[in-house]
Structure 1
Amino acid sequence: MAYMVRGILFFGGFLLLCLQLACGQQTSADSIKKEKQPMRKKLDVNSENTFDKEAPKHGYYLQINHQNCHYEVRVNDEEAYQYRDRYPVMSIRPPLNPFIQKSGEQSLSIRVFPIKGAFLSKMADLSIGLFYYTDMSDEENSYGELVHLLDWELPKIENEETPMVRLDTVFKATVPYEIKNLDHAVDLSKMDKDELLAEVVAEYKAIFKLMERDYHQYYIERNKPAFDRSDMWAYTTEESSRKVSENNAAFFKEDLEEIQPIENYKLNLYAYGKTVSLRRMIDNGNVICKAEILEEDHPPYYKKGEKHYYEGAPVRLYKDKRDNQWHIW
């Protein structure tokens, strides 16, 4: 009987060893099979974009002068510029090419708000001139001819209870490029709002973490396609855009204690629901930003002890239908 037990134990041990070897061989085979499987190719989001090197390189701009008001300018429903600071007078010339995806008709929307209170002051004033340079590659000759397309002035405020004045118009633009990324963008306005907010916040926090850890890696992994597009509409080179990215990296090298956490935000949709951005609730500024507590008065606009936001890092996203992933816009 003892011999029989030992025989059974031996047979059982032998069977267990065979099973272990078989499992080991199967695991090894599975590993080899997995190793041989090709990695999923990363989507080239810019693959359909085109640039005509022979076409004129027009550069479109706005000349904006204002007093005693806040305002927002949108081109093709993208925020071209906004002013919500406390200083009553300012003049600026923002470029519009970043918001022009192809030649043809472009929409222009101007919204003028009170600088304080609920209604526009009778002292509010704003004038806008739309123009373009005919050849942005001709720096020696002041970028060619300057052509005016549109002039607009804020009508005189007669009604003391005017909360906003808005202008909606169109203009035609001719550019040598066609950017098609948003042709494949998910209509975010149709997504569940809570689901959209959760996805966008998670994406922002992942981007913010990567920016803090290694900004150059952020440029390589996430932001390079956006810079490649900027080389098209700004008529620049990859080298120059890389230098811009290197300058942007300084945001995470200086005054680190003033970088703000991602909180107290709202979600804004742009480009007719195809792009999205998180903005500060308090002033609609970029949620990735710096802020300082003022140690002295800056009369008459800022007081000691106030929190002053500055130097934002703009991030705008879109979701591509081709891979169902979020990308920097």
Structure 2
Amino acid sequence: MPLIPDAARRHHHVFVPADHRFKAAARFLQALWREDRDLPIGYHTDSLGKRRRRLGSCIGTSAGEQGTNFIHPDIVPVVARALAYREPGAVYDVDRLKTNLLSSQPLTFNLFGLLARDLALATRFMAEFIPGLMKDVTDLAFEHSPGRGDARFTQDGTAFDVVVRGRSETGERLFVGIEIKYSESSFETVPRFSPRYAAIAPTANLFVDPAAAALRANPCQQLFRQHCLAATILDQGLADRAVLVLIAPQHNTLTATAATTFTRHLRDPAGGPIPFIPRTLEQAITALAATGLTDHARALHRRYADWWLVDGELQLDATPSETNLFVHPRNANRTRPRPEAQPHRKAA
């Protein structure tokens, strides 16, 4: 990923000093997506909900209310239903969901929203995404936990971004818990651990050292909590088999490192009681294309993973003496044009 000059980030209103390398590029890409569609710029809000400054990776409130953060109009009613029927204790920042282009929560709906409307389509997707795992998808849910705060589970707020339930070829009830990252570093605030983890981890037969401090610290702690939650789902008889999946962009090296680090703490990552399966966002987009959603997959790629657009914009912004810093060797003799604006299809 390129190190984007501060001047270019300021020009597109995405200069955030705290951003790590991938997040800065991802924020820049989201600003280009917004600009190409002539969507109004949004604002950064503080913890008190006060608007502080314009931020190119956000859209205005009015545009957000029209569903323009979602790349297909059929996703908008899926989001509305998920919010209306959210589980008690489910964590949704509705304003962020509707207006923050960089957030992984709208990405979750953009990636799985159309599948939630068509379980036959979801079945084909899972066959492409994780071959041989699931014969039929019977349910797909967002921001799911079987019981937040319930002592039968992890007795806290741990949940999965997406859950896919279904049946295996042999008729087993399958539970696939999915965590989705986009620009996150996997070094977010560590929550307070409930006492339940001290009881779950040693009996789950998942970890090399269930008491390892590293499992309860970044970058492993969220995956550790979700793995333990999946173990309690099996213990309570809610499924016969469970799988934990992590989806993140291939160039988000911090999250990739988190997955690698967590894997080292597992006794048998691929064949244990609850396999841990890291997948890239690009693999998920490719699987969507293979199910027949080629236009949607193309739109997802353009929105979240077309880094050549960032390179092209840097070439446009660079002075002649700087241009060679941003040109890929294969493209040294040609200029990559900026993509044409494409009108967004607003939901009715």
Say yes or no: TM over 0.5.
no
Which TM-score applies when normalising by structure 2? 0.19
Q: TM-score, normalised by structure 1?
A: 0.20
The structure where helix makes up a greater share of residues is 2
